[in-house]
Structure 1
């Protein structure tokens, strides 16, 4: 299992009451599932209702600065010291 850093932004950070944390997992999906187990209120914001195989359409997840949509999606394999950024939609001016 890879040891990775997860950075949370906007309302995800507010719900978890932290901007970053360390966790382990083999894939992006493993890490996000671990995150939602630790912070259950994040589940409905990250995954489609009842479907842990699909991200909500408005959530963006970046692995070392690259959008996982352009990689293997939730099945993207992680390595030690990788960094995941989880971004909900934001607006403002």
Structure 2
């Protein structure tokens, strides 16, 4: 299992009351499931209800690259990887 740093932004950070956490997992899905187990209020913001599929408006970046251009939730992680989770943000 890889040791991964997870960075939360905007309202996700407010809900978790932290901007950075560490988790272990083999895939992006493993880490996001661990995150939502620790912070259940994040589950409905990250995953579609009743499913372990990402909400369409959530962007997850692995080392600066959007996982939508990789294997999405099945993307394999390595030690010291960094996941950034971005909710939709609007404003001017």
- Fold conserved (TM > 0.5)? yes
**Per-residue deviation, 1:31:** 0.1
Q: What is the CA deviation profile of residues 68-88 of structure 1, one whole-angstrom value per residue up to 9, with x for unaligned ones?
A: 000000000000000000000
Misfit runs of 4+, over 2 Å: none
Q: Distance in 1 between matches of 2:13 and 2:83?
A: 13
Q: Distance in 1 between matches of 2:71 and 2:64?
A: 14
**RMSD between aligned residues:** 0.3
Q: What is the CA deviation profile of residues 16-63 of structure 1, one whole-angstrom value per residue up to 9, with x for unaligned ones?
A: 000001110000000000000000000000000000xx1000000000
SS in 2 for 1:79: coil
Q: Distance in 2 between matches of 1:41 and 1:62?
A: 21
TM-score of the superposition, structure 2-length normalised? 0.98
Q: Distance in 2 between matches of 1:46 and 1:28?
A: 12
SS in 2 for 1:49: coil
Q: Distance in 2 between matches of 1:37 and 1:21?
A: 13
Q: Distance in 2 between matches of 1:17 and 1:91?
A: 21
What are the ranges of 5 or more consecutive residues in structure 1 without an aligned counterpart? none
**Per-residue deviation, 1:92:** 1.3
